[in-house]
Structure 1
Amino acid sequence: MRGSYGLMHYWAKIGLLLLMLTMLGCNTLKKVEDNELLLTKNSIYADDEKITDEDIRSLIVQKPNSSVLGYPLRLNLYNLAKDNPDSSFTDWLHRKEKREKRLNNLLSQKQVNRLRESFVVKGASEFLNRIGEPPSIIDTSLTQKTVDRLQAYYNSKGYFNNTGSFDIVRSKRKKRAGIEYKINLEKPFMVDTVITNITSPELDSIYNKTVEQSFVKEEDQFDLLNFNNERERLTILFRNSGVYNFQESSINYDILRDTTLAADDQLMDVQLNIQKPRSTNDSTAQSPYRIHRFKKINVFADYQIVGNQDSLNTLEYGNYTIYYNNKLRYRPKALTDAIFFQKDSIYRDLDRIRTYRQITNLNTFKYPNIEFIPDSTQAQLITNIYLAPRPKFSLNLDFDVTHSNIQQVGTVFGATVITRNVFGGAETLNISARGSIGLLKNPSLSDETFTSELGGDINITFPRIWFPLNTEGIIPYYMLPQSRFLVGTNFQRNLGLDRQTFNTVLSYNWTPSLSLKNNIELMNVEFVRNVNPDNFYNEYRNTFNNLDVIADPFDTDPQYASFFEDSGDTDDPFRLSIPDGANGFVQAVLNNEIPVSTDNFNEVNSIEERRQRLTENNLIFASNYTFTKNSRTDINDNDFYQLRVKLESAGNLLSALEDVVPYNKNDDGQLLVFGVPFSQYIKTEFDYIRHWELSETDVLAFRSFFGLAVPYGNSESVPFVRSYFAGGSNDNRAWNPYELGPGSTDNINDFNEANLKIAMNLEYRFPIAGDVKGALFADAGNIWNVFDNEDNPDAVFNDFNSLADIALGTGLGLRYDFTYFVFRLDVGFKTYNPAEEWSKRWFRNYNLSDAVFNIGINYPF
């Protein structure tokens, strides 16, 4: 770990040195001619009011060179490139009379020609040209094009009589200038009357029922966006009201006013025209649009393009006709539940979309093909749904190289066998096996330096809510309901105390809309067995060292000699033996057999409680509900929010059965199930993420998190696997994982955790050069103990004064965008450290030698 840490420092210093050389050694105007002006700023004024709206500013054709924190990095990288590296090399070669001859004799003429094409001579300039950016020279033709765009934009907002111009404003600095765009808007035009011309009586009736929802309203200012929104609204309305073939191109508007004439009222009449559909073969209009109903719905369950449909078998199920080869492999209800068309009902485009989504959600068929055959005389539809099955079995193999909080490097391998349509109801069965081998980050934590893990699970997914009661009325099939039942186990070797985990999950999830998702884990049972509890003091060295310091005054006393062993260290020749000596010494102190101070007694008591907690086996029988809302429309949407709320309760069912099932109890009065005290707690989490798109390239990202787990009843603390930690690449990046907190304590344990967490992150993301992007961030937060058996006042959240323990880390990061994922390197500095004394909390370790480097994949939030 020390070697990799030093290597990071080395490359960080090299990067800073190169950046400084770039900043000091470049002339921004190097490639700007005397008769040219470098564009430094664009301003837009509408009726003397400065416009800051990014949508309007995006209309500007020519923009200044990009900058990183105000410095034109890409421009100066471009200036470093030679304009004609071949000519420069030739001039250098011929600058001295015998230089070319000597080089030819030394390298040969062929190698000299290769030198001309090398990276040093030519490739470096080509690379700098590629990642750099040429100077943005003011071009009046592009400037006039921007004026035309701005005028067109304000025309679309009803300012039909606007005029535009631009001024080039020279800077006091040499060969630099800005451009001011000025638009005189004049008075906007208003909608006076909206009249309709709808050729179809049925469409006219539908429109009149929803006219109050129209985006185009009388007395509103003319806005082309409203007209486009109204066209979209009417298209969706008609297609969901039975008009399956409605075309948006059938809608147009006439402005019944000469807008070139000046008028005081600036009013206009608008006529909505909805014409007959156009023929697909020519431009002639067909008969008016009509409302269609379903006459027949056919489902082809084993569709093959080259197959003979005449040889298919048929099955009438409800109002559906199912076609299949030989034997129907699917229960009819599993197929019809995924189809939202009903015989004799009107066509709705919404049902078509839901049918596509639900069939795809079955994970049994390829993307379906739905065909509509109209009967124009009766306005009816025959619907054919073609389902091409996926393979019954498939095999997925995975191999990854990982880096985690505990492992310096690891290899992960796995295999999954997927079986589809297990019981004939489109169920999916996954049987997975996985394993890993890793190298510990800090070999001093254990005698062995490698970790291993082996696990597997059986996971079956049902495309419906698998529950004794009928839930279709509450969770209809268009919400894509799924039930999942999982049974798994995992074995970890030399990771902590060597752990075996057995877990069972029964969960339900459904999606009411594209932005909402619900998940209920009705049963989440996890049994954690620590295989090697005697290895506690070997793994948690900080805890052991604290205990050994307390024991030092007694290591030469003969009556306590059995607790110690020869350490081989001249400064500290005796130390507690592990595990017998450490455990024996702790029990002797707690039994008042060894006299220690009150502070040391409390410290030993805290160590013993922690040892028992981390070495005891855990049985967690929990249920939870998670609600997620995400306003992001697609991967390119950089202005969105995401909210996640989770509620979890553990142990309540087992506790309620106490009067029915006779439980055994341990010495502490805890109820035992299979000889293990079950955990009982309630837990809640709130996670909110917000992104603001500051410009086309810059994004401000914010995240806040609050989590609280309160033990009660059968537990005095929350299980380690359900507690919180702070620090790491996705949390407070100025601290390593598990290093921060709890409260104002100073890394008292090897893995610090608690049951209350508050975290906030703010990150400004900006481009640097090409696919290389940068970030400035500030991470704040901490963990505390509350409502549990922790009695260290520095670790406990008492009141709002404890918010002074919130740590602050700031730093910068580099990202490289590989399109499919982002590689991330962050450097964090401890800006406010609550573990220090009050006078030393701010900027005490704010230097590169104390920085924390984090490597991650994709953005942290």
Structure 2
Amino acid sequence: MKKGFRYAIYATVIFLLASCSSTKYVPDGAYLLDEVRIQTDNKEIKPSSLSVYVRQNPNSKWFSLIKTQLYVYNWSGRDSTRWINRTLRRLGDAPVIYSETETGRTSEEMTKAVQNMGYMGAMVEPVRQVRKKKMKLTYKVTAGKPYKVRTLKYDIRDSKIEEYLRQDSASTLLSEGMYFDVNTLDSERQRITSHLLQNGYYKFNKDYISYTADTVRNTYLVDLTLHLSPYRLPNEEKTQNHRQYTINKVNFITDYNVLESSALSSVEVNDSLHYRGFPIYYKDKLYLRPKVLTNNLRITPGSLFNEQDVQRTYSNFGRLQALKYTNIRFFETQQGDSAKLNAYVLLTKSKHQSISFEVEGTNSAGDLGAAASVAFQHRNLFKGSEAFMIKLRGAYEAVSGLQGSGAHNQNYTELGAETTINFPRFMFPFLSNDFKRRIRATTEFGLQYSYQMRPEFTRIVASAGWSYKWGVQRQRSQHRIDLLDINYLYMPWIDPTFKENYLEKDENYILQYNYDDRLIVRTGYSYTYNSTGQALMNNAVMGNSYTIRVNFESAGNLLYAVAKMGRMKKNDNGEYTLLSIPFAQYLKGDFDFAKNIVIDNRNSLAFHFGAGIAVPYGNATIIPFEKRYFSGGANSVRGWSVRDLGPGSFPGDDNFLNQSGDIKLDMSIEYRTRLFWKFRGAVFVDAGNIWTLRDYKDQPGGKFKFNEFYKQIAVAYGLGLRMDLDFFVLRFDGGMKAINPVYKKGKDRYPVFHPDFGRDFAFHFAVGYPF
């Protein structure tokens, strides 16, 4: 610990020395832009909303504190031919030299932005403070009195559009007495345009809508008029009312190549067919059933053009894994006095079959091993874009510290197989096709099998599932219903020595329960809401965002009701059985909330709160091992190793099964910053623990009690280094214990004041952010 403290002092001295030379490469007569601030005299005008107009920002800071990259740049020498100087300059940031021109442009754009909010007399004054070769720049915003709309009028000479707007008047963003906000006026133009695009006005855009504003002399009042311009034919002076278009025909072209000419005449078509009045053109062989095409179409012949129907069609075809791209084009056609559109749905085929291999290394508490898997995927199994996958997996691990006699198997071996098939439609018996067509869900069936051999036991885990998913990529809300999920745990062999020493001799109820044959028949529902619609860039959410996850599941209720009504006999442990296999019964609910707050383009603050509870009842007094909660690890309280914390004040007994619980609480706050190149840094504080609902003798201190649980919340702090590789993030976190709930008082309870690196440190490697 003393050595680490000495290194920290050395690092501090280096940064202090570097800070002394932060103006090393600032030319004479120029200034280092050291700080930029925005001050407003109106609480309604947030400085954060104006920061986007700042044309020149000072050098970035790590954790908003230290201009590390500027210091790295300043460490370089003036001889640019030396590799060390070139490397330092590449890793660092050159000093930002104050520019009078950029300051003037910033003032102009900021003034315009405030005036657009309704403060027509707003002024922005840059105030400069110079000290030696550094400059602090403050933009002082004087808003003045806002202009308000006194009267609101409409100049619309198209009677049909006027009627549409009158019927939709309750949705308008304009009103008398509102601030004369240009942004609101533009939003109203967009709103009207969207409304008309849903009612047949295919060629309408917001440029047809304009405003005139007359200010009342010597007042801050505005008379506002909204104008609708008539439609003007290209290269003609003649004007007319805007045309309302009806869908005439919808055609499918299934072999469109986006890399070739965009002209439809260049599309290679060898054959065609008609299905329910829809022409379908294809090259050699139609790879999708006609019904699949028409069921996902939302553009209806004979109806008015509707932009929402077009977007729904894009969304529906986007769910089909048999397709790579979808493009929809419209061509005008005149039939008498009616304006009509012919629609062409252009589809590009994806690669339907693929094989993938995976190899990984494992390290379980020092035991080294390896695993490999091979997977085959077919994205169009029955010509309906059904995604079929089958995966075979094998794993081997050299096990040390055996708990059994080892006569049956010396090491850990696992052989497994899984298969899933996903149908891009809602499937359920006894429902009409029209009803199923309206439900935008995918249906998935899956089977899994795992054969595990250890020195202590042999275990077989088999499962089957039937589930539904709603929501596609970039949608904010995602739903999943596990209609039926059956898991069967079978223990064909247990080492006699292990059974005697750990299952029978100590009478450990948790161990006994989880080493018996068990059946879990569950249903569940999960909901995810992402405020950005999962619009990610470089694995980081752009702008402030939050995510909510809710999960609920139950198991065994139907089987318990059948057993009760059938007056079935119980086994020796007081459990009802199905085919001599006891089944689990429980309720489980989880809630998870994460929020990201962007401070600037390099720094952000992330919060996380998670809680869960699992309640065994009826046919069970304990939750199955696979459904229990664990604490500690890369995605939990990072001062503890994985599954090494709790429950409650229980210190652990080297048996990870005993360090599990029925209640979980997790809280985290993390300050994230960009370092250089692909590297990101983080400072975090985590808190949480797990508890049991019952008082088990093998988990002393683990039961949840309202008057004690808050004293048993563990706290950790630490540093993290992340490498953002665009497609995924490699994460390295080092956590230190701050409050250890194992101890009720004394210095051992508060290692934050008495740290011991060997005792309190935990290192974690993971892929992706912790929340």
Q: Are 1:154 and 2:64 an aligned pair?
A: no
Partner Cα separation in structure 1 for residue 455 and residue 113 of structure 2: 63
Contact between 1:711 and 1:788, CA under 8 Å: does it hold in 2?
no
Change (3 A) 1:737 1:295: same
Aligned ranges 1:514-663 → 2 under 5 Å:
514-530=475-491, 532-534=493-495, 578-579=497-498, 582=501, 587=505, 604-605=506-507, 608-633=508-533, 634-635=535-536, 636-658=541-563
Contact between 2:586 and 2:623, CA under 8 Å: does it hold in 1?
yes
SS in 1 for 2:96: coil
> In structure 2, which of residues 745, 748, 766 is the aligned counterpart of residue 838 of structure 1?
745
> In structure 2, which of residues 219, 239, 243 is the aligned counterpart of residue 265 of structure 1?
219
Aligned ranges 1:729-808 → 2 under 5 Å:
729-751=634-656, 752-787=659-694, 792-808=699-715
> In structure 2, which of residues 48, 59, 64 is the aligned counterpart of residue 54 of structure 1?
48
Contact between 2:40 and 2:46, CA under 8 Å: does it hold in 1?
no
Contact between 2:426 and 2:437, CA under 8 Å: does it hold in 1?
no
Partner Cα separation in structure 2 for residue 22 and residue 410 of structure 1: 43
Please identify, of 327-336 and 678-687, the stretch whose mean Cα deviation from structure 2 is larger.
327-336
Q: Are 1:194 and 2:101 an aligned pair?
A: no
Equivalent residue, structure 1, for 2:127: 167
Change (3 A) 1:203 1:801: same
Equivalent residue, structure 2, for 1:817: 724
Change (3 A) 1:198 1:19: farther
Equivalent residue, structure 1, for 2:442: 482
> In structure 2, which of residues 598, 613, 619 is the aligned counterpart of residue 693 of structure 1?
598
Deviation at residue 505 of structure 1 after TM alignment: 0.4
Equivalent residue, structure 1, for 2:323: 365
> In structure 2, which of residues 79, 83, 94 is the aligned counterpart of residue 84 of structure 1?
79
Deviation at residue 655 of structure 1 after TM alignment: 1.4
Aligned ranges 1:8-23 → 2 under 5 Å:
19-20=11-12, 22-23=14-15
Equivalent residue, structure 2, for 1:75: 70
Deviation at residue 733 of structure 1 after TM alignment: 0.5
Deviation at residue 827 of structure 1 after TM alignment: 1.0
Deviation at residue 48 of structure 1 after TM alignment: 8.2
Equivalent residue, structure 2, for 1:145: 105
Q: Deviations over 1:537-571 (max 9, x none)?
A: xxxxxxxxxxxxxxxxxxxxxxxxxxxxxxxxxxx
Q: Are 1:461 and 2:446 an aligned pair?
A: no
Change (3 A) 1:290 1:34: closer
Contact between 1:37 and 1:138, CA under 8 Å: does it hold in 2?
yes
Aligned ranges 1:19-38 → 2 under 5 Å:
19-20=11-12, 22-26=14-18, 27-33=21-27, 35-38=29-32
> How many residue pairs were aligned?
745
Deviation at residue 486 of structure 1 after TM alignment: 0.6
| TM-score (structure 2 length as normaliser) | 0.88
Contact between 2:575 and 2:620, CA under 8 Å: does it hold in 1?
yes
Q: Deviations over 1:467-511 (max 9, x none)?
A: 12427787764x631111111212334498553211100001113
Deviation at residue 681 of structure 1 after TM alignment: 0.9
Deviation at residue 847 of structure 1 after TM alignment: 4.0
Contact between 2:403 and 2:498, CA under 8 Å: does it hold in 1?
no
Partner Cα separation in structure 2 for residue 20 and residue 792 of structure 1: 45
Partner Cα separation in structure 2 for residue 11 and residue 614 of structure 1: 46
Q: Are 1:44 and 2:33 an aligned pair?
A: no
| TM-score (structure 1 length as normaliser) | 0.79
Q: Are 1:130 and 2:90 an aligned pair?
A: yes
Q: Deviations over 1:176-214 (max 9, x none)?
A: 331222233333222233333345433222222223322
Residue identity in the other structure for 1:74? Q
Residue identity in the other structure for 1:372? F
Q: Are 1:353 and 2:307 an aligned pair?
A: no
Deviation at residue 51 of structure 1 after TM alignment: 7.0
Deviation at residue 854 of structure 1 after TM alignment: 0.9
Q: Are 1:395 and 2:389 an aligned pair?
A: no
Contact between 2:232 and 2:240, CA under 8 Å: does it hold in 1?
no
Deviation at residue 834 of structure 1 after TM alignment: 0.3
Seq. identity, %: 27
Partner Cα separation in structure 1 for residue 616 and residue 56 of structure 2: 61
Aligned ranges 1:63-462 → 2 under 5 Å:
63-69=57-63, 70-86=65-81, 122-171=82-131, 174-198=132-156, 200-257=158-215, 263-277=217-231, 282=235, 287-301=240-254, 312-317=271-276, 320-323=278-281, 330-376=288-334, 377-391=337-351, 393-401=352-360, 411-437=370-396, 451-462=412-423
Contact between 1:739 and 1:750, CA under 8 Å: does it hold in 2?
no
Partner Cα separation in structure 1 for residue 2 and residue 364 of structure 2: 22
Partner Cα separation in structure 1 for residue 55 and residue 433 of structure 2: 54
SS in 2 for 1:713: coil
SS in 2 for 1:141: helix
Residue identity in the other structure for 2:421? I
Contact between 2:420 and 2:445, CA under 8 Å: does it hold in 1?
yes
Equivalent residue, structure 2, for 1:669: 574
Contact between 2:374 and 2:391, CA under 8 Å: does it hold in 1?
yes
Residue identity in the other structure for 1:464? R
Q: Are 1:860 and 2:770 an aligned pair?
A: yes
Q: Are 1:828 and 2:731 an aligned pair?
A: no
Deviation at residue 466 of structure 1 after TM alignment: 1.4
Deviation at residue 746 of structure 1 after TM alignment: 0.6
Larger helix percent = 1
Contact between 2:394 and 2:416, CA under 8 Å: does it hold in 1?
yes
Equivalent residue, structure 2, for 1:119: none
Change (3 A) 1:852 1:244: same
Deviation at residue 842 of structure 1 after TM alignment: 1.2
Residue identity in the other structure for 1:294? I
Larger strand percent = 2
Partner Cα separation in structure 2 for residue 407 and residue 291 of structure 1: 72
Contact between 2:586 and 2:620, CA under 8 Å: does it hold in 1?
yes
Change (3 A) 1:367 1:503: same
Deviation at residue 422 of structure 1 after TM alignment: 3.5
Equivalent residue, structure 2, for 1:541: none
Deviation at residue 672 of structure 1 after TM alignment: 2.1
Deviation at residue 643 of structure 1 after TM alignment: 1.2
